[in-house]
Structure 1
Amino acid sequence: MALFSLLVAIMVERLKLLPDALQLDNGLRWYQQQLFAGTLLQSAVGVLLALLLPAVSVAVLLWVCGDWLFGLPTLLVWVAFATVCFSHQHQRAVFKHYMQAACRGDTEACYLYARELDCSACLSAVSEKALGASVGQMAAWINYRYYAAVALFLILFGPVGVVLYCTVRFFAEERKRQNAPWPLLPELLYLLDWLPVRLVALGYVFCGQFSSGFGRWRELALDWRCKPRKIITQVAMAAEVMPEDNNAPVCVRSTLALLALSKRNFVLLLTLLSLLTIFGLVR
C-alpha cells in the first residue's frame, strides 16, 4: 500500500495534476487562519492542538474506513494523503525560474529566485560559482524536507505520520517566516528529523563518493546535536564531485550535480521500498 501510494503521488506531482487549491501548504494556511489565528499559537497547548488535530482526524478517518469493500476506502485515503503531502508546485516553479534565469545569463534574477527558493537560509554567495554551490545545497535540503522525509514518514507511519510531519514542518516554517513567538515547533521538528535526516544522508554516501561521503557522514551523524540541514548539505557536498568544465552556466553546475545526487538517492529509496514490500516487511 505504501509503495503504490507513493508511486501515484510521484506521478501526480510530476504531471502537476493537483490544483493549487489542493496544495498542502495552502490547505494548512487556511486551517491555521480559520482555527488558530490570533494568540492561540502562543501557548504550548495551542501549538500541540494545532499540530495533532489533522493527524488525529486522519487516524479517525482510517478507523472509520476499516476493511470496508476489501480495504478500497483505506487505499484511497493512503493515496489521497500521499498525493497531497507530496505535491509542492511552488518550490518546483521557483527552481524552474532560477534555472531559466541562469540559462539566459540573468545573474540578478538568479539571486532573487535563490532567496525565494528557501526563505529560511541566509544567502551569502558573492560569486556565480558560490551561488551555484549554495543553491545546490538548497536543492539537496529541499529534496529532503519536501520529498525524502515525506516518503520515509509515509512508509514508516502511514498517512497519520506523514500528515503530522507535514503539519509540524508547515507551522515551523510559518513561525520563522512571520517571526512569531510560537513555542515547541523548532524542537519538535528537530526530533522528527533526527533519524530520517541521517538515513537520507547515508543514502547520499551510497549514491556518490563513498570514501569521502562516509567519513563526513560518520562525523556529523554521530553528533546527536548536529542540525539536520548541516548533515544533508555537508554530506551531499562531500559525496558528490563538483564539475568544473561543462556547457552549463557556472551558477548551475554545482546545483545540477547535487540535484542529480538527490535524484539518485530517491531512486535508491524507492528500490529499497520495493524490496521491503516484496518480502512483506512493509505493508
Structure 2
Amino acid sequence: MALFSLLIAIFVERMRLLPDAWQFDVILSKYHQALFGDKQVRSTLMMALALLLPALSINIISWFISGMFWGAISLVLWVGVAVLCFSHNQQRQAFKRYIQAACRGDTQACFNYAAELDSSRCLESVCEQDLGERVGQSVAWINYRYYGAIALYLILLGPVGSVLYCTVRFYSEQKRNRQLDLPLVDPLLFVLDWIPSRIFAFGYVLSGHFRQSISAWISLAFNPKADARDIITKVAIEAETLPESSSAPICVQSTIALLQLSKRNFILLITVLSLMTIFGVVS
C-alpha cells in the first residue's frame, strides 16, 4: 500500500488536483482554531494533545476499518492521507514566481519570493550572486521536509507517522512565523527529523558525487546534535557540481542544479521502495 499510495499522491500533487481548501496545512489551521487556539497551546499538556490528536485519530480509524472489504477501505485511507500530506501549493507557487522573477531580472521580487519559499533563513545579508545557491539549498531542504520525510514516515509507520510529522512541522512553522510560545514542538521535530534526515541525505550521496559528499555525510550524520537542515543542505552542496554564475542579475543555474539533484534523490527513494515492495520488506 505504501508504494501505491505514494505514487498516487505524487501524481495528484504534480497535477495540482487538490484545491487550496484541502491543503493539509489549511486543514490543520482550521483544526487548531476550532479545538485549541493560540492561548491554550501554550500549556504543555494542551500542546501535546494538539500534536498527537490527529495521528491518534488516524490510528483509531485505521484500526476500526482494518480488514473491511478485503482491505479496500484501508487502502483508501492510505491514499487519502498521502495525498493530503503531499499537497503543498504554496511552496510550488513561491518557487515558480521566484524563477519567473529571475528570468525577467526583478531582483527585489526574487528576494521576496525566496523568503516566502523558505522563511527559516534570513536572506538580508545574501548578495545577488549568492542568492541562486541559497535558494537551491532551500529547494533541497524543502524537498526533504515536504516530500522526503513524509514519504519515509509513510513507508515506516504508515499514515499515522506521516500525519504526526506533518502536524509537528505545522506547529513548528506557526511558532516561527507567528512568534508563538509553543512548548515541545522544536524538540519533538528534532527527534522526528533525526533518522529521516540522515537517510535522505545519504540519498544525495548516492544521487550525486559520492566521493565528495560521503565525507560531509559521515561528519554530520554521526554528530547527534547536527541540525537536520545543515545535514540536508551541506551534503546536497557537496553532492552536486554547481555551475559558475552567469551575468544575469539573479543566476538560477545553481538553483536548477540542486533541484535536479533533489529529483534524482526522490526517484532513488521510489526505486528503493519498489524493490522493497517486490521482496516483501514493506507492504
TM-score by length of 1: 0.97
Q: What SS does the corresponding residue of 1:225 show, helix, strand or coil?
A: coil
Q: Distance in 1 between matches of 2:209 and 2:246?
A: 20
Q: Flag structure 1 segments of 5+ consecutive residues without an equivalent.
A: none
Structure 1 counterpart of 2:83: 83
Q: Is residue 103 of structure 2 the alignment partner of residue 103 of structure 1? A: yes
Q: Is residue 139 of structure 2 the alignment partner of residue 145 of structure 1? A: no
Q: Deviations over 1:158-200 (max 9, x none)?
A: 0011000000000111011111111110000000000000001
Structure 2 counterpart of 1:46: 46
Q: Deviations over 1:132-179 (max 9, x none)?
A: 011001100000000000000000000011000000000111011111
8 Å Cα contact 1:107/1:128 also seen in 2: yes
Structure 2 counterpart of 1:206: 206
Q: Distance in 2 between matches of 1:277 and 1:86?
A: 21
Q: 1:240 to 1:43 in 2, by over 3 A?
A: same
Shift of residue 44, structure 1, vs aligned partner: 1.1
8 Å Cα contact 1:125/1:134 also seen in 2: no
Q: Deviations over 1:241-273 (max 9, x none)?
A: 001277987521111011110000000000000
Q: Deviations over 1:210-253 (max 9, x none)?
A: 11100111111111101000011100001100012779875211
8 Å Cα contact 1:125/1:131 also seen in 2: no
8 Å Cα contact 2:107/2:249 also seen in 1: no
Shift of residue 281, structure 1, vs aligned partner: 0.4
Q: Is residue 42 of structure 2 the alignment partner of residue 33 of structure 1? A: no
Q: 1:133 to 1:38 in 2, by over 3 A?
A: closer
Q: What SS does the corresponding residue of 2:122 show, helix, strand or coil?
A: coil
Q: Distance in 2 between matches of 1:81 and 1:224?
A: 31
Structure 2 counterpart of 1:197: 197
8 Å Cα contact 2:208/2:239 also seen in 1: yes
Structure 1 counterpart of 2:233: 233
- The alignment's C-alpha RMSD in Å is 1.3
Q: How do residues 63-212 of structure 1 correspond to structure 2 at under 5 angstroms? A: 63-212=63-212
**Partner amino acid, structure 2, of 1:116:** E
8 Å Cα contact 1:103/1:249 also seen in 2: no
Q: What SS does the corresponding residue of 1:181 show, helix, strand or coil?
A: coil
Q: How do residues 259-270 of structure 1 correspond to structure 2 at under 5 angstroms? A: 259-270=259-270
Runs of 4 or more above 6 Å deviation: 245-249
Structure 2 counterpart of 1:14: 14
Q: Distance in 2 between matches of 1:246 and 1:60?
A: 55
Deviates more, 1:80-89 or 1:114-123: 114-123
Paired-residue identity, %:
54
Q: Distance in 2 between matches of 1:249 and 1:208?
A: 28
8 Å Cα contact 1:51/1:167 also seen in 2: yes
Structure 1 counterpart of 2:243: 243
**Partner amino acid, structure 2, of 1:107:** T
TM-score by length of 2: 0.97
**Partner amino acid, structure 2, of 1:15:** M
Q: 1:75 to 1:249 in 2, by over 3 A?
A: farther
Q: Distance in 2 between matches of 1:65 and 1:79?
A: 14
Shift of residue 49, structure 1, vs aligned partner: 0.2
Q: What SS does the corresponding residue of 1:26 show, helix, strand or coil?
A: helix
Q: Distance in 2 between matches of 1:49 and 1:126?
A: 39
8 Å Cα contact 2:98/2:114 also seen in 1: yes
**Partner amino acid, structure 2, of 1:167:** T
8 Å Cα contact 2:132/2:255 also seen in 1: yes
Q: Distance in 2 between matches of 1:55 and 1:173?
A: 18
Q: Flag structure 2 segments of 5+ consecutive residues without an equivalent.
A: none
Shift of residue 48, structure 1, vs aligned partner: 0.7
